Structure 1
């Protein structure tokens, strides 16, 4: 009887324990929370297509359009002058840049001229008796012959008899020998071909100048050119005479230039073409580094947006209702910070700023009901 009683008590304890454990488990179970829908607030713009100018960025340094590298073709002592031959020295057109001592060569010229004069004078008696018709013009030639001036051109010799007679006496060869010496005499003095400034001086007054020696560089500071290399894809877009806006590196000054020339060949190594931008401004200097934006063409029915809004290069997030969607787009031009897109329907709502973690189907809400028209960032 006792065993039966203990068995019943044990069964009751087990049942009670199970019941108590179940009550305890049920008391710790919390109700599942209701998940709230997260709606992201985003900045949006409404597409308004228009004509966008395609601006090609480029950069380069200025170089004087008119420049003269000074070389000596003769040898002699560099003669001192009142105007020092130094960098920064300004010269007017026709002013002497370099004057080399030509006294020795000048004496040779005078000697050759004297020999020519004597040769002609020696044939005058023969001309008077044998060729009286041509005597007077040769006599006039001698009268007008001045040793201190350039040798005058020989009289015209229309008849073969006269030509043979004069040539046979060595007068023609003497004349061209004199002209050759006179031409070389002009190389001892170099004059400025235009108003400009000396930017490099490699010789000093009193030094010996040798033939073929570089003496310096002379430029016209009133007009400069900037050489820029552009992708060959722009070869058909660049036009001579196109106005170009240029800025210095600090973007504190803006200058206006024009496309002066476009190279007709493509650099095989870099696959670029070279364009030359002409610019005039008294504040510019040789070697200044400028940035330019070339107006290549105008793209109709297009918008310009920030490049950070693009997905995989040809997709864009758009807002449809209260969710994000992905739209395939047609990019036609990339700059460093923006991209030009074509053929997006007017009224399409797009993101104005990137949204971290955005995905198609994401719930969004515009920042405000008023959206800004997209035309040109």
Structure 2
């Protein structure tokens, strides 16, 4: 009986193993579900070759085109003037910026002028006797001589005898000594060379000024220049007089300048050339930082696209029958974000935006913009 039970259990175990094995085999051969193919939607653009202007970005700080560093050539005490010598003070052309006490030096100048006058007066009797034809000329000179005014120019010599006579009396030497002293006396007063504003003051009223001491800086706030450095590639293209668009850092204000000068040499270290942009505006201040866009040249039969659309192999993606393909392109100019290309046929459909993982042969769906009725 026991053997019969064991035999039955063995048969059942074999049948169960067979059924389990059959189920495993059936499940293994069951076809897997096919994943749905995803077609990416892309933004496209149609090529239309035009003339592309090449714009060179540059930046720099504004400096006054007319700037004067004020130095003293004489020594003395700084005397008060009509206006305080302080930064921000405006002056008109000819107004006194600085007046140095010249009372002592003025007395020596007056003494020399008096000596010249006496020397000429001493020869007048001899001129009346020996040179009666020129006596009236020198008499008129003496009559116009004023110690409180600038020494007038000596009369013109009409003959060699007159020249020898006047020179032999030391009058010519005395005259030029006086003119030299008067010239130095004028340095005790520094006047504004143009309408402008004082931007730096290094001396105060009542202080002792020494010869060679820097006293301040004076600028014309109506015209400014900005120095920019550009690639040597554009050395023969950039022209004086070209209009330049300028903006501030916040892009809130725009100005228009022009190229006033272009340096004739290239910096050997940076291989750049320096250009100067002149700009005029009441809202500008010295030291302001501006960005400039210089129009260098124009390229015919070209297009401009984003730099990330150009592959490392100098190719761009095109769309033919909803399939991506690549064609060679000829880049002629790179900017920070754009590239200018030539030799791309008109009517070619290209990508407008970069597609992650794009490859030649990839099936895509061009994006079609729908218009609301």
Aligned residue pairs, count: 361
- Cα distance in 2 for partners of 1:343, 1:99 equals 71
Q: What's 2:134 paired with?
A: 134
The secondary structure found in structure 2 opposite 1:319 is strand
Trace 1:115-134 onto structure 2 (pairs within 5 A). 115-134=115-134
Moved over 6 A (4+): 12-19
Farther-moved stretch of structure 1 (78-87 vs 24-33): 24-33
Summarize the Cα distance change of 1:157–1:307 in structure 2 as closer, same or farther, 3 Å threshold.
same
Displacement of 1:105 in angstroms is 1.1
TM-score if structure 1 supplies the norm length?
A: 0.91
Aligned partners of 2:191 and 2:57: how far apart in 1? 40
2:296 corresponds to:
296
Q: Which residue of 1 aligns with 2:362?
A: 362
Deviation at 1:101, TM superposition (A): 0.8
CA distance in 2, matches of 1:302, 1:64: 40
CA contact (8 A) 2:81 2:96 kept: no
Residues 148-187 of structure 1 correspond to what in structure 2 (within 5 A)?
Answer: 148-187=148-187
Separation in structure 2 between the aligned mates of residue 19 and residue 203 of structure 1, nearest angstrom = 112
> What is the 5 A alignment of 1:1-377?
23-29=22-28, 30-34=30-34, 36-312=36-312, 314-368=314-368
Q: For residues 325 and 109 of structure 1, what CA distance do their matches in structure 2 show?
A: 92
Distance 1:66 1:313 in 2: 51
Q: For residue 313 of structure 1, report the CA deviation from its aligned partner.
A: 6.5
Structure 2 CA distance, aligned partners of 1:15 and 1:325?
61
* Secondary structure of residue in 2 paired with 1:340: strand
Distance 1:134 1:152 in 2: 18
- Stretches of structure 1 that go unaligned for 5 or more consecutive residues are 1-8, 371-377
Task: Write the distance in 2 (CA, Å) between the matches of 1:22 and 1:198.
Answer: 102
Q: Which residue of 1 aligns with 2:4?
A: none
Post-superposition offset of 1:33: 4.0
User: In the alignment, is the contact (CA less than 8 A) between 1:249 and 1:289 conserved in 2?
Assistant: yes
Structure 1 position 106, deviation (Å): 0.8
In the alignment, structure 2 segments of 5+ residues that lack a partner are 1-7
- Secondary structure at the counterpart of residue 262 of structure 1: strand
* Aligned-partner Cα distance in 1 for 2:82–2:365: 80
Post-superposition offset of 1:13: 11
Q: Alpha-carbon deviation of 1:25?
A: 3.8
Counterpart-to-counterpart distance in 1, 2:306 and 2:173: 78
CA–CA separation in structure 1 for the residues paired with 2:343 and 2:26: 63
1:92-148 Cα deviation digits (max 9, x unpaired)? 111111111111111111111111111111111111112222222111111111111
CA distance in 2, matches of 1:361, 1:121: 110
Q: How far apart in 1 are the matches of 2:79 and 2:314?
A: 70
What is the CA–CA distance in structure 2 between the aligned matches of 1:320 and 1:98, rounded to whole Å?
A: 79
TM-aligned CA deviation for residue 170 of structure 1: 0.7
TM-superposed CA distance for 1:23, in Å, is 2.4
CA distance in 2, matches of 1:332, 1:94: 55
CA distance in 2, matches of 1:161, 1:42: 103
C-alpha contact 1:38 1:363 (8 A) present in aligned 2: no
In the aligned structure 2, how far is the partner of 1:333 from the partner of 1:175?
69
Q: C-alpha distance in 1, partners of 2:17/2:361?
A: 49
SS of aligned partner of 1:346: coil
2-structure distance, mates of 1:369, 1:106: 88
Separation in 2, partners of 1:268, 1:150: 53
Aligned counterparts of 1:343 and 1:205: Cα–Cα separation in 2: 72
Deviations 1:3-41 (A, max 9, x none): xxxxxx9xx999979965762342122214446544222
Map Cα deviations across residues 152-209 of structure 1 (whole Å, 9 max, x no partner). Answer: 1111113111111111111100000000001111111111111111000000011111
Quick one: structure 1 residues 234 and 348, their matched pair in 2 at CA, closer, same or farther if it must change by over 3 Å?
Answer: same
CA distance in 2, matches of 1:91, 1:136: 46
